[in-house]
């Protein structure tokens, strides 16, 4: 049976948080389980820890401060994040990184919060789930400073250029691919890069509820992207890579288990 792990679900977003049971169950029916729930600030991180604990083995989570919220990082943040990250349901530090597209937080503040979280990931011997948008040069410079001490590092929702991909692979990063590749308007450049990602460095994600694959037919009635659509994204990726969907799904599943240090036998019965 083909299994999938959605490595980035914004389950506590306003568009999803009221339907958690249905989202988990519908995903499992499509063999997508467990789900990795993303924390984007410290308050939400506390919520995702609590929520994940209510769904053992079905939900795991990350705890961190997204660059949009970097202005909230202060002298107390590291202590609180450390406490959250030590909970059993937490499998990575993040989502952290840089976002120069929106600049919701000043860029120097973003860099400081990002570096602090990479430092904490090193101290706790935990992997890190990262974000980068239109900030590659600063992003890769900071990552490379900490990479030798990091257990593992993942750039989720990659949308960069070929040169940026090569630099990320040179830094031994895992690369998360979303339904962005299914967008005939914005995703064609990325679709051409997907075959360049080594088998042992690729992961699949929805980034739900965002980035609904535009090429899905029939088109879902709702504009919400859901974890249950992950098999479609993997099949699309497999076609681009000229691989069998089953083989790529197995590779992504194993990479995700390895990265998040999950037992490989997880939830083998959940999709039945």
Smallest CA-to-CA distance from 176 within 202, 195, 196 is with: 202
Please report which helix (H) or strand (E) contains residue 236, including its range: helix 230-241
Are 174 and 205 contacting, i.e. CB atoms less than 8 angstroms apart? no
DSSP state of 149: G
Residue 265 among known ligand-binding residues: no
Calculate helix-pair angle for 162-170, 136-146, nearest 10 degrees: 10
Strand order in the sheet with 128-133: 4-9, 32-37, 59-63, 90-99, 128-133, 153-155, 174-177, 202-204
Are 65 and 41 contacting, i.e. CB atoms less than 8 angstroms apart? yes
**Distance (Å, rounded) from C-alpha 180 to C-alpha 249?**
18
Residue 95 among known ligand-binding residues: yes
List the end-to-end C-alpha distance of the chain, in Å, as a whole number. Answer: 9
Are 208 and 228 contacting, i.e. CB atoms less than 8 angstroms apart? no
Sorted by sequence, the CB contacts under 8 Å of residue 155 that are 6+ apart come out as 97, 130, 131, 132, 168, 173, 174, 175, 176
Binding site residues, as ranges? 95, 131, 156, 207
Task: Could you list the residues known to form a binding site for a divalent metal cation, using ranges.
Answer: 95, 131, 156, 207
């Amino acid at each position: 049976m083909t299994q999938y792990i959605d490595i980035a679900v914004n389950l506590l977003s306003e568009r999803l948080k009221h339907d958690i049971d249905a989202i988990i169950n519908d995903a499992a029916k499509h063999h997508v389980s467990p789900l990795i729930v993303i924390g984007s600030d410290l308050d939400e991180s506390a919520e995702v820890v609590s929520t994940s604990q209510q769904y053992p083995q079905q939900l795991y989570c990350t705890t961190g401060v997204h660059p949009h919220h970097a202005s909230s990082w202060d002298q107390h943040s590291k202590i609180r994040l450390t406490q959250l990250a030590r909970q059993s349901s937490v499998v990575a530090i993040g989502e952290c990184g840089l976002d120069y597209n929106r600049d919701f937080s000043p860029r120097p503040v973003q860099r400081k919060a990002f570096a602090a979280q990479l430092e904490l990931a090193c101290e706790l011997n935990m992997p890190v789930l990262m974000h980068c948008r239109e900030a590659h040069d600063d992003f890769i410079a900071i990552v490379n400073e900490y990479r030798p001490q990091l257990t593992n590092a993942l750039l989720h929702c990659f949308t960069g250029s070929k040169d940026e991909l090569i630099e990320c692979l040179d830094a031994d990063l895992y690369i998360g691919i979303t339904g962005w590749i299914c967008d005939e308007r914005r995703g064609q450049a990325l679709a051409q890069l997907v075959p360049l990602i080594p088998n042992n460095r690729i992961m699949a994600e929805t980034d739900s509820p965002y980035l609904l694959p535009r090429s899905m037919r029939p088109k879902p009635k709702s504009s919400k992207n859901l974890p249950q659509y992950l098999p479609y994204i993997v099949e699309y990726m497999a076609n681009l890579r000229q691989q069998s969907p089953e083989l790529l799904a197995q590779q992504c599943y194993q990479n995700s288990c390895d990265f998040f240090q999950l037992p490989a036998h997880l939830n083998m019965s959940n999709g039945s």
